[in-house]
Amino acid sequence: MSESQNIEWKQSWHDDYLKWVCGFANAIGGTIYIGKNDEGKVVHLNNYQKLLEDIPHKIHNTMGIVCDVQLLEEDAKKYLQIKVNPYTVPVSLRGRYYYRTGSTKIELTGVELNEFLLKKAGKTWDDMVEESADLKDIDADSVLFFKKEASISGRLPKDILELPLKETLEKLRLTSGHNLKRAAIILFGKDPNQFYPNIKVKMGRFGNNDADLRFQEVLEGNIMQLLVQVPELLNAKFLTKPIVFEGLQRIEKETYPVAALREMLLNALVHRTYMGAMIQIRVYDDKLTLWNEGNLPEGMTLESLKGHHVSRPRNPLIAEVCFKAGYIDSWGRGTLKIYEACKEAGLPEPEITALDGGILVTLHRDSIGDSIGGQIGGQIGGQIGGQILTERQNEVLHLIIQNNTITRKELAERLGIAESAIQKHLKALTKAKVISRIGTKNGYWKIEK
């Protein structure tokens, strides 16, 4: 037997170990052995008789719980066993709450403490009533958008389109009496940030590392709005699509699988800790990351996300509405879809890691695909002939494809670099006959084919 999530060895007793008792009581219970060293070997307790009397009293007097304390013997050496049962109510030690996770004891504070207390009360954060909100704080267009999506998905009857706003929210269990629940504000609120901080998605375009920030944007709104706006902005401004010329045809390829990006965003919006930091998306030259505050559910590991695992949403009301809209399923397959999408696209396996109290998902670009994406191959009118574009030139070209009247100043602002640098890239693209300028002040850029 070794130390684990529910076993702890202590060579002697210190009152500080009451924190470990509290942690076990708030988690799944456990056993503390007093008189065992770090290797699990028994060391004789000279004061075992006094401890046998003192420890139960200290536990009861400081936490109000009862633990089974027994005297055991091995090779004529005495040691104590403190068996701590799990409690359905929160247990505090002098006003502080501790929790056993893995083989460590942590003190719960802030958001973690709030979630812990709600869980012990049989509630979740999104199921709580927001007393300061009413129907005037709900965006009717967002609700209508959801109803159309749900009708298409077939997970709600088509007559839901005819239901008034109040009855729609009631049907979705987003109200309690005359009050709105927090989930209603997050899903359909006109301004969720009026009630809760950081209901936002921050996106940044970096070079090869975090020190090279080129530009950034922050979007805020309810879930229905963010599900539309984030992919649009990400695609329009942050992702440079690889361009391949085959004969006279220009083909744009996706940098990252749409299915993978969609699942990453959905997972973040559904499972995030809404009283924590905002969702953060970072786009680098060679990878894309999404960080979302909130640890995995108890008992779930990062490795288990690669295979079959049970769906245990942090915000079940929000998850249920997204399920009815057809955005997610209820089988815990979101991360599997990310892995599968990248595999089908020939990209390296995504990385999912724990970082700073949240989950970080990283998609890597394929080095071979990057080379192809930056290359204009073949003979286009007998003039280009295998010209290789730099990453920055590719970004400039991508913006011109989106808006062929874009100015040097606008290009500089979008990419966060000087106009003189833009001029050099434009000159290089023009010299390679990738683009040409038609007209001057009121002219436009022509993509050569």
pLDDT above 80 for 388: no
Report the share of the chain in percent with pLDDT over 90: 53
Q: How many CA atoms lie within 13 A of 41 on its CB side?
A: 2
pTM surpassing 0.95?
A: no
Confirm whether 7-108 and 200-364 share one CATH topology. no
List, as one string, the DSSP characters of 331-364: SS-HHHHHHHHHHHTTPPPPEEEEETTEEEEEEE
CA distance 395 to 443: 21
Give residue-wise pLDDT tens across range 14-30. Answer: 999 999 999 999 999 99
The pLDDT score that the predictor gives to residue 183 is: 97
What are the tens digits of pLDDT across the range 239-269? Answer: 866 555 454 455 556 789 999 999 999 999 9
Scanning the structure block, which residue is given the tokens 């290359």?
A: 375
Q: Which two tokens stand for residue 23?
A: 């942690």
> Is residue 385 scored above 70 in pLDDT?
no
Pair of tokens at residue 147: 């109803």
* Angle, helix 48-63 to helix 18-26, in steps of 10 degrees: 50
Domains of the chain, by residue range, sit at 7-108, 127-192, 200-364, 374-447
Summarised one tens digit per residue, pLDDT across range 177-223 is 999 999 999 999 999 999 998 899 999 999 878 888 989 999 999 99
Amino acid at the residue 87:
Y
Q: Tokens at residue 366, please?
A: 């394929």
The Cα–Cα gap between 186 and 269 comes to 9
User: Is pLDDT above 70 for 374?
Assistant: no
How many C-beta neighbours within 10 Å does residue 276 have?
A: 18
- Compute how many other C-beta atoms are within 10 angstroms of the C-beta atom of residue 12: 13
Matching CATH number, 7-108, of 3.30.450.30, 3.40.50.300, 3.30.950.30, 1.10.8.50: 3.30.950.30
Q: Given a cut of 50, is residue 377 above it in pLDDT? A: no
CATH topology of domain 200-364: Heat Shock Protein 90 (3.30.565)
**For residue 306, what pLDDT is reported?**
78
Q: What's residue 371's pLDDT?
A: 38
* Banded pLDDT at 1 (limits 50, 70, 90): low
Cα(243)–Cα(241) distance, integer angstroms: 6
Q: Kindly indicate the confidence band of residue 114, based on its pLDDT and cuts at 50, 70 and 90.
A: confident
Which of the four pLDDT bands, split at 50, 70 and 90, describes residue 380?
Answer: very low
Q: Are 84 and 51 in contact (CB under 8 A)?
A: no
Distance (Å, whole) CA 202 – CA 220: 9
Residue at 332: amino acid letter: G
CB count within 10 Å of CB 104 equals: 9
Whether 244 contacts 96, CB under 8 Å = no
Residue 367, pLDDT > 60, answer: no
Q: What span, in angstroms and rounded, lies between the C-alpha atoms of 9 and 27?
A: 18
374-447: CATH architecture: Orthogonal Bundle (1.10)
d(CA 447, CA 389): 14
Query: What contacts 360, CB < 8 A, 6 or more positions away?
Result: 289, 290, 291, 351, 352, 353, 354
The amino acid at residue 128 is M
Closest CA to 215 of 262, 281, 269: 281
SS (H, E, C) 129-161: EECCCCHHHECHHHHHHHHHHHHHHCCCCHHHH
Mean pLDDT in residue range 433-442 = 84
**Residue 439 neighbours by CB under 8 Å, 6+ apart:** none
Distance (Å, whole) CA 160 – CA 140: 14
The 3-state DSSP class for residue 267 equals: helix
Distance CA 211, CA 207 (A): 8
Distance CA 93, CA 99 (A): 11
Q: If you average pLDDT over residues 118-133, what whole number do you get?
A: 91
